[in-house]
Amino acid sequence: MTDGEQRPGEGYGEDDETPLGGYATLATTFAATAAVFAATARHRGLRLPDTVPPWDVALLGTATFKASRLLTKDKVTSFLRAPFTHRERDSNADEVMDAPRGSGLRRAVGDLVSCPFCTSAWVAGGLVGTYAVAPRAARLLCAGLSAVVLSDWLQYAWSVTEQKAEG
């Protein structure tokens, strides 16, 4: 390689700290987990649903949203993120803003666990896997997480109403 050319896994340039190797490890882990699940399901003769009703998709989506925010933004789950992130600041609604720390795989995991959009793919994978194996349990779990979303909206509405009344 000539000077200035990029080596595989080094990032996008000399000063770039993007942990491509860590991202590749996480992507491989996700894909391998999905493959193991699929192979195990096939080996055990699990009959996967031909379709997923729209209501279940909405329930899975709402639950994925809430679980992702709980894992990536909630103060109480900070202990899960702390080895991979540092606190940048508190945010609205008792959420926190964490930023990744370290380099390599540690940084990649920090990026994952501080980003609700990134984490949602992993959460959805887990919920969909649960739905495939135990649909009734998955619906119950998703209904519980969806109830929390509804509760959050009611809390916001109550706060706004209270602020207007106090005026």
* Residue 63 C-beta-side C-alpha neighbours within 13 Å: 23
Question: Given a cut of 70, is residue 2 above it in pLDDT?
Answer: no
Query: Hey, which residues does 21 pair with through a beta bridge?
Result: none
Query: Hey, which residues does 97 pair with through a beta bridge?
Result: 89
Interatomic CA distance for residues 21 and 3, integer angstroms: 21
- For 110-150, the pLDDT digits (tens) are 999 999 999 999 999 999 999 999 999 999 999 999 999 99
pLDDT at 167: 79
Q: How far is CA 159 from CA 109, 151, 152, 164, in A?
A: 35, 12, 11, 9
Interatomic CA distance for residues 27 and 21, integer angstroms: 10
**For residues 144-162, average pLDDT:** 93
Tokens of 33: 């987990």
pLDDT at 1: 46
- Enumerate the H helices of the chain as residue ranges: 20-43, 54-73, 78-81, 104-113, 116-133, 135-166
- For 39-92, the pLDDT digits (tens) are 999 999 998 889 999 999 999 999 999 999 999 999 999 999 999 999 998 876
Interatomic CA distance for residues 122 and 130, integer angstroms: 12
Let me know the angle formed at the C-alpha of 148 by 144 and 152, rounded to the nearest 5 degrees: 170
pLDDT at 95: 87
Question: Given a cut of 60, is residue 3 above it in pLDDT?
Answer: no
Tokens of 90: 């508190």
Strand-pair category, 96-100 with 85-90: antiparallel
Cβ pair 108, 101 in contact under 8 A? no
Q: Which residue has the higher pLDDT, 90 or 9?
A: 90
